[in-house]
Amino acid sequence: MITSLAYLGIKSPNYGEWPDLVTKVWGAQLAEPGPDGAVRIKFDDALWRLQIHPGEQDETAYIGWGVDHEEDLQAVLKTLADLGVAAEVGSDELAAERAVNRIITFTDPWGFRHEVTWGQSHIACSFQPSRPISGFVTGQQGLGHVLLLLPDIEQGHDFFSKLGFRLSDKIIVPGRLNARFYHCNARHHTLALGQCPPGVAGLNHLMIQLQSIDDVGLAYELAEEHGVPITLTLGRHSNDRQFSFYHSTPSSFHVEYGFGGLEVDEEAWVPRVYDRTAIWGHRPHPSGKGRPMGIMHQLS
């Protein structure tokens, strides 16, 4: 069913602070603003993949997923009905706003709004990086990955597994971390779930992946130069082998900026359990001290 992370939408009072981060550090491209003044960000030939809307507070507005075939949307609707989750077929107006052909929407048990789409619009050769970079790893692998924080990670596993996400591995550090990682294409994980305290849920981070290790190293230096709060230093993950660093954004959630993540061979892949997050590095950076764990919201 779901085969990629198509896009992500955020609401934030600090939406006006995003263009400098996007152009001076990431090397991504600013697209034409949305009708409400939203900052729209391009990583490839898709019209946009990340949108920061004006808002009174930081909020995860929607998570956009992609399917390969139009008829797969019906399979998603049936699965959601079987799970007891109400879903709606989105209007033509909403589809046009999201730059897709068809769209369905639903809210999961933890209050996240999801949009499952088919036919994302692309314009060939339209991506123009804002600084010299090799480019982002997207295509069939989508925008990247998101890590959602849930109070019941086992319930989360049951729910998302039925939507087409397949377990890649787990990281369990007793007393510190309980996380699951799921693939739906060749990317090691498009979705990750992390345990958080009862009564809340949230978006911890978005990962964007570059085609060159030098892009990551240079971005790290640029982040320091431009005062972007780095939360975790350069390092390499134990499970997906991603070389990356993390920084906080103007809108509470974090971004992992990385290179070289493992790709899954579906026929041969065997899920494993790891007892540490990094082979080396990924240590807390002083500039990230006191930053929120992500965009959190209360559960009813």
Quote the DSSP letter at residue 288: G
Which helix (H) or strand (E) segment holds residue 39: the answer is strand 39-42
**Which value, to the nearest 10 degrees, does the dihedral of the CA atoms of residues 11, 15, 20, 25 take?**
-20
In-domain check, residue 125 = no
Please report whether residue 130 resides in a domain: no
In this structure, the answer to whether residues 152 and 210 fall within a common structural domain is yes
Residue 90's CATH number: 3.10.180.10
Same structural domain, 24 and 109: yes
124 assigned to some structural domain: no
* Residue 94 structure tokens: 């909403």
Whether 54 and 161 share a structural domain: no
190 vs 175: CA distance, rounded Å: 25
pLDDT band, very low/low/confident/very high, at 300 (cuts 50, 70, 90): confident
In terms of domains, do 268 and 180 share one? yes
Q: Which of 118, 151, 185 is the last residue of a domain?
A: 118
Q: Within a domain: residue 129?
A: no
Q: Which of 58, 84, 118 is the last residue of a domain?
A: 118
Average pLDDT over residues 107-113: 98
- Beta strand extents in 120-190 (DSSP E only): 145-150, 166-173, 177-183
- Answer yes or no: is 233 within a domain: yes
The Cα 262–Cα 229 span in angstroms is: 27
Tell me which of 118, 152, 169 is where a domain ends: 118
Q: Based on the domain organization, do 164 and 48 belong to the same domain? A: no
Does some domain include residue 54? yes
Tens of pLDDT along 35-82?
A: 999 999 999 999 999 999 999 999 999 999 999 999 999 999 999 999
For residues 243 and 258, the answer to whether their CB atoms sit within 8 Å is yes
Distance CA 282, CA 258 (A): 12
Average pLDDT of the chain?
97
Question: Which domain, by its residues, includes 230?
Answer: 139-298
Q: With 90 as the cut, is the pLDDT of residue 115 above it? A: yes
Same domain for 160 and 289, yes or no, is: yes
Note whether residue 133 is domain-resident: no
- Same domain, yes or no, for 102 and 176? no
pLDDT per position as a tens digit, 189-211: 999 999 999 999 999 999 999 99
Report yes or no on 20 lying in a domain: yes
If asked whether residues 283 and 223 sit together in one domain, one would say yes
- Same domain (yes/no): 189, 242: yes
Q: Are residues 214 and 146 in the same domain?
A: yes
Question: Is the pTM of the predicted complex or chain greater than 0.95?
Answer: yes
From the list 30, 276, 253, the residue with the least C-alpha distance to 146 is 253
Residue-wise pLDDT tens digits, 243-274: 999 999 999 999 999 999 999 999 999 999 99
The pLDDT value recorded for residue 139 is 97
Q: Are residues 173 and 25 in the same domain?
A: no
Whether 169 and 108 map to the same domain: the answer is no
Report how many domains make up the chain: 2
DSSP helix/strand/coil, 196 = coil
